[in-house]
Amino acid sequence: MSQEPLILWFDQINIKDVPAVGGKNASLGEMYCNLKSKGIAVPNGFATTAHAYRRFLAETGLDERIRHILADLDTSDITNLQQHGREVRHAILSAEIPLDLREEILKAYDQLSEQVSGGVDVAVRSSATAEDLPDASFAGQQESYLNVHGHTALLDICRRCFASLFTDRAISYRTEKGFDHFDIALSIGIQRMVRSDLASSGVMFTLDTETGFKDAVLINAAYGLGENVVQGSVNPDEYYVFKPTLKTGAKPILKKTVGSKEFKLVYDSGGGKMTRNVPVDPAARAHFAISDEDILTLARWGCLIEDHYSAVQGRYCPMDIEWAKDGNTQELFIVQARPETVHSQQQGTIVKTYQLNERGKVLATGHSVGERIGHGVARIVHSAKNINEIQPGDVLVTDKTDPDWEPIMKKAAAIVTNRGGRTCHAAIVSRELGLPAIVGAEHATELIPGGAMVTVSCAEGDAGHIYEGQLDYEVREVDLSKLPSTKTKVMMIVGNPNEAFRLSMLPSDGVGLARMEFIINSFIRIHPMALIDYDQLDNIALKTEIGQLTSAYEDKPAFFVDTLAQGVGMIAAAFYPRDVIVRMSDFKTNEYANLIGGEHYEPREENPMLGFRGASRYYHENYRDAFGLECRAMLKVRKEMGLKNLKLMIPFCRTVDEGRRVLAEMEKHGLKRGDDGLEIYIMCEIPSNVILAEEFAEIFDGFSIGSNDLTQLTLGVDRDSEIVAHLFDERNPAVLNSLAAAIRKVKAAGRKIGICGQAPSDYPEIAEFLVKQGIDSISLNPDSVMKTGTRIAKVESELEGVPAQ
What are 757-803's pLDDT values in tens digits?
Answer: 778 877 888 989 999 999 999 998 887 787 788 889 889 988 887 55
Residues 6+ apart with CB under 8 A from 451: 377, 378, 379
| Helix and strand numbers, DSSP H then E, in the chain | 30, 30
> Which residues, in sequence order, are bridge partners of residue 148?
122
Q: Is 348 exposed, middle or buried (0-12, 13-18, 19+ CB in 10 A)?
A: exposed
What is the model's pLDDT at position 308?
Answer: 97
d(CA 414, CA 392): 10
Least confident of 23-37, 424-438, 484-498, 734-748: 424-438
Q: What is the dihedral of CA 190, 194, 197, 199, to 10 degrees?
A: -160
Contact present, 466 and 415 (Cβ < 8 Å): no
Residues 6+ apart with CB under 8 A from 349: 479, 480, 481
Could you tell me the sign of the dihedral formed by the alpha carbons of 524, 526, 531, 537, in that order? negative
What is the model's pLDDT at position 270?
Answer: 62
Q: Using the 8-state DSSP alphabet, how is residue 282 labeled?
A: H
Contact present, 623 and 617 (Cβ < 8 Å): yes
Task: Quote the distance between the C-alpha of residue 260 and its chain's center.
Answer: 17
d(CA 554, CA 548): 11
Any idea what the Cα angle at residue 563 is, between residues 702 and 673, rounded to 5°? 25
Task: Quote the distance between the C-alpha of residue 212 and its chain's center.
Answer: 9
The answer, yes or no, to whether residue 570 has pLDDT greater than 70, is yes
Give which of 24, 239, 39, 259 is closest to 144, Cα–Cα: 24
Query: Is 33 tagged catalytic?
Result: no
Contact present, 738 and 690 (Cβ < 8 Å): yes
The answer, yes or no, to whether residue 480 has pLDDT greater than 50, is yes
Q: Using the 8-state DSSP alphabet, how is residue 136 labeled?
A: B
What is the model's pLDDT at position 344?
Answer: 62
Q: Which of 425, 458, 465, 684 is catalytic?
A: 425
**Cα first-last separation, the chain:** 71
What type of residue is 353? T
What is the model's pLDDT at position 460?
Answer: 84
Give which of 139, 255, 691 is closest to 501, Cα–Cα: 255
Q: Which of 303, 317, 631, 756 is catalytic?
A: 756
* Residues 83-129 pLDDT 10s: 999 999 999 999 999 999 999 999 999 999 987 777 899 999 998 88
Provide the CB-side half-sphere exposure for 458 (13 A, CA): 27
d(CA 120, CA 16): 29
Where is mean pLDDT largest: 349-363, 480-494, 505-519? 505-519
Q: Using the 8-state DSSP alphabet, how is residue 207 labeled?
A: S
Least confident of 642-646, 669-673, 785-789: 785-789
Cis peptide before 577 (omega within 30 of 0): yes
* Residues 128-171 pLDDT 10s: 886 444 444 444 556 789 999 999 999 999 999 999 999 888 88
What is the model's pLDDT at position 132?
Answer: 44
d(CA 73, CA 81): 7
Helical (H) or strand (E) element with 562:
helix 556-575
d(CA 752, CA 429): 48
Band of pLDDT at residue 504, cut at 50, 70 and 90: very high
State the pairing for strand pair 473-479/489-494.
unpaired
Contact present, 10 and 36 (Cβ < 8 Å): no
Contact present, 409 and 369 (Cβ < 8 Å): no
In this prediction, residues 434-450 reach a mean pLDDT of: 93
What is the model's pLDDT at position 180?
Answer: 87
**Distances, alpha carbon 576 to alpha carbons 143, 361, 581, 582, in Å:** 41, 37, 12, 14
What is the model's pLDDT at position 579?
Answer: 97
Within 10 Å of residue 765's Cβ, how many Cβ atoms? 11
The answer, yes or no, to whether residue 2 has pLDDT greater than 60, is no
Q: Is 150 left (phi over 0), alpha (psi -120 to 50) or beta?
A: left
Least confident of 13-22, 408-417, 745-754: 408-417
Query: Is 149 tagged catalytic?
Result: no
Provide the CB-side half-sphere exposure for 228 (13 A, CA): 32
Helical (H) or strand (E) element with 217:
strand 216-223
The answer, yes or no, to whether residue 207 has pLDDT greater than 70, is yes
What is the model's pLDDT at position 177?
Answer: 79
Within 10 Å of residue 52's Cβ, how many Cβ atoms? 28
Contact present, 787 and 353 (Cβ < 8 Å): no
State the pairing for strand pair 237-242/253-257.
antiparallel
Q: What percent of the chain has pLDDT over 70?
A: 96
Radius of gyration for the alpha carbons in the chain, expressed in angstroms and rounded: 30
In this prediction, residues 41-47 reach a mean pLDDT of: 96
Give which of 124, 128, 126 is closest to 181, Cα–Cα: 128
In this prediction, residues 66-71 reach a mean pLDDT of: 92
d(CA 299, CA 239): 10
What is the model's pLDDT at position 142?
Answer: 65
Residue 407: strand, helix, or coil:
helix
In this prediction, residues 210-222 reach a mean pLDDT of: 94
What is the model's pLDDT at position 763?
Answer: 83
What is the model's pLDDT at position 139?
Answer: 46
State the pairing for strand pair 646-650/579-583.
parallel
d(CA 64, CA 761): 69
Give which of 198, 192, 91, 113 is closest to 147, Cα–Cα: 192
d(CA 24, CA 335): 10
pTM for the structure as a whole? 0.86
Band of pLDDT at residue 297, cut at 50, 70 and 90: very high
**Distances, alpha carbon 98 to alpha carbons 61, 63, 551, in Å:** 12, 14, 57
Give which of 220, 190, 219, 173 is closest to 403, Cα–Cα: 173
Give which of 354, 247, 258, 343 is closest to 304, Cα–Cα: 247
What integer best gives the mean pLDDT of the chain? 91
Within 10 Å of residue 787's Cβ, how many Cβ atoms? 12
Query: What φ, ψ does residue 616 adopt, rounded to 5°?
Result: -65, -20
The answer, yes or no, to whether residue 401 has pLDDT greater than 90, is no
